[in-house]
Amino acid sequence: MPYILEVQKIAWNYKSRHLGYMNKIFETQEDACVYYNKFNQHMLPLTNKNNYCSDWDPYTYLMYIVREHFYEHLHIAPFENSNKNENNNNSLI
């Protein structure tokens, strides 16, 4: 089963809003975690212990969730396509 990263944004009332899915497909949930952790070293690691759901980033207010990939539209650029080597998706904010 392939996996993807869902992107959500935290609002002022700590509710999350779905923004979309990252345009990158992973073979396993662990592959998605390794990818997220590589580009978000300032955050707690994404693992199965936290149900494959990241904390929200205090800079971007984004959080990432590993999901099974079915037929979702993958329109959010991967981390490596951003302008910096860190997660700085200001276009999503």
Residue 86 has pLDDT above 60, yes or no: no
Asked if residues 54 and 46 have their Cβ atoms less than 8 Å apart, the reply is yes
User: pLDDT (tens digit, 9 = 90+) per residue, 40-68?
Assistant: 999 999 999 889 999 999 999 999 999 99
Transcribe 53-74 into DSSP letters: BPPPPTTT-EEEEEEE-SS--E
pLDDT number for residue 11: 87
pTM value is: 0.83
Nearest by Cα to 64 from 82, 51, 49: 51
Banded pLDDT at 13 (limits 50, 70, 90): confident
Asked if residues 18 and 8 have their Cβ atoms less than 8 Å apart, the reply is yes
Q: Based on the structure, what is the number of domains in the chain?
A: 1
Average pLDDT over residues 30-47: 96
* Cα–Cα dist 54/64, whole Å: 5
Structural domain span for residue 74: 3-92
To the nearest whole number, what is the mean pLDDT of the chain? 89
Q: Give percent above pLDDT 70 in the chain.
A: 88
